[in-house]
Amino acid sequence: MKIGLLPLYLALYGEKPKPRMRAFYEKIVKMFEDRGIEVVCTDLCALKEEFENAISLFENEKCDALVTLHMCYSPSLESADALKNTKLPIIICDTTETFDFSDKQGPGEIMYCHGIHGVMDMCNLLKKNKKPYAIAAGHCEKSDVIDRVVGFVKAAKSAQSIDGSTVGSIGGNFGGMGDFEVSDEKMLSRFGTKVVYPEKGELKALCKEVTQEEITLEKERNKNDFEFIGEFDDEIYTKSVITDLALKKWIEKRNLRGLTVNFRNIGELYTMPFNGLCRAMGDRIGYAGEGDTLTALFTGALLQGYKETSFVELFCPDWENNTVFINHMGEMNYVVADRKPEFYEKPFSFGGEETTNPYSGSAAYKPGNAMFVNIFEDADGFNALIAPVKVLKETTDSFKKNVRGWLDFGMPVSEALEKISMRGATHHSILIYDATVSEMEFFAKLLGITPVNL
């Protein structure tokens, strides 16, 4: 991930404070770099032209976000136009160098610690100009402010990945499912995303392109990554591997951000490519089932910033223990598996006479804190339902050979289900580990989507 770090200054102060402020700026740069963030730097900016030049540099460098850092007070009208006109997401790092500013401190520190009212001035103009932004405040070393800024950068990178992307659809929509249905025309006009379908003979040709060497390597990879269970029919297993590899070739050929497969109409594939779809999510390619291009797009977008993201579906309520069981036919991001997935032949009866069974992995979702996000459209537009959840640890093997997980919404399950459906959420959702409500709200606002808290 890459940011442009914009240091805001006041020309009135002249040159004297600059050396210490530059040193502080470089310190903040190093703190971001230590967290794996590439930083594009610039000189202290005080005047309109300086802000315009700096932000132009960040845009040309294709930064994922613009992070502001007030070195002192900076009048908002100097930076307002440049910030208003940029398409880069804006994140405010509201921090200072001095931790203790009690009466034990001296007035000499005022020069280096009064940037907070510059932040207030600037944010007022951002609000007036209807610019979405995120802010994290705290001492640079004695709080988590830098980590929170990094979280917002992840959200910004995810949002930035949508416009101009492509989503693939194999088999079209599952007939009768209306909640996630969005026309291809609206996907393009609203999100700048093109929906593509396989041409006649395209998938069949890609299956034939798969070489014996590729098959052997993929089988070795599966052997290393999974716990094999049961008997393996080599002919059926080979067809499953070919299907997975052909799917990967199609993803690369069409440069897909995400894809969806309708299990009732897999077309020219030998079988339903469950393993290939799970692998794709691990490669940061989004997925959703049954022709759901909307959720596939947003899963793919969130994967750009958050690798521990997976398509999920709420399946069964556990009334006694106040959780919801999540499950699907065979798709999950293996990256968030609690342990090495079980790999076996899955019965599959939805294809034609020549369709064979797929071989794929299943696992429990790893325990931990996560965000439950659902992208849905209602009469007023698109929304993002956002809820913090706790993924519980599996305690028995009773659901082995199934994709499985249990979500605790932090409230009675009856209340959670009522609220989810009263909001109008679809039955396809996204699970994101190591994210926060604020990050997901920022992600939604950057896309002009209404964030809706559960």
Give 3-state DSSP helix, strand, coil % of the chain, rounded to 5.
40, 25, 40
**Which H helix or E strand runs over 90?**
strand 90-94
Distances from the Cα of 154 to the Cα of 82, 161, 306, 383, 424, angstroms: 23, 11, 7, 20, 27
DSSP, collapsed to helix, strand or coil, labels residue 328 as: coil
C-beta pairs of 221-225 under 8 Å, 24+ apart in sequence = 222/275, 222/343, 222/359, 225/334, 225/340, 225/341, 225/343, 225/361
* Cα–Cα distance measured from residue 352 to residue 310, given in angstroms and rounded to the nearest whole number: 29
Q: Where does 341-436 show beta strands of DSSP type E?
A: 342-345, 359-362, 368-378, 381-391, 405-408, 429-433
pLDDT of residue 266: 81
**Its pTM surpasses 0.85:** yes
Q: Is 422 exposed, middle or buried (0-12, 13-18, 19+ CB in 10 A)?
A: exposed
Is 192:165 a contact under the CB 8 Å cutoff? yes
pLDDT of residue 112: 67
pLDDT of residue 15: 86
pLDDT of residue 426: 96
Q: Give the domains, in start order, of the chain with CATH numbers.
A: 2-160 (3.40.50.10940), 166-453 (3.20.14)
* Cα–Cα distance measured from residue 408 to residue 297, given in angstroms and rounded to the nearest whole number: 26
* Cα–Cα distance measured from residue 29 to residue 55, given in angstroms and rounded to the nearest whole number: 17
**Which H helix or E strand runs over 166?**
strand 166-170
pLDDT of residue 313: 97
pLDDT, mean of each 10-residue run, the chain (454 residues): 97 88 96 98 97 98 98 94 98 94 83 84 97 97 97 99 96 78 96 97 96 98 97 96 98 98 84 96 96 97 99 98 94 97 91 86 98 98 99 96 97 98 97 98 98 96
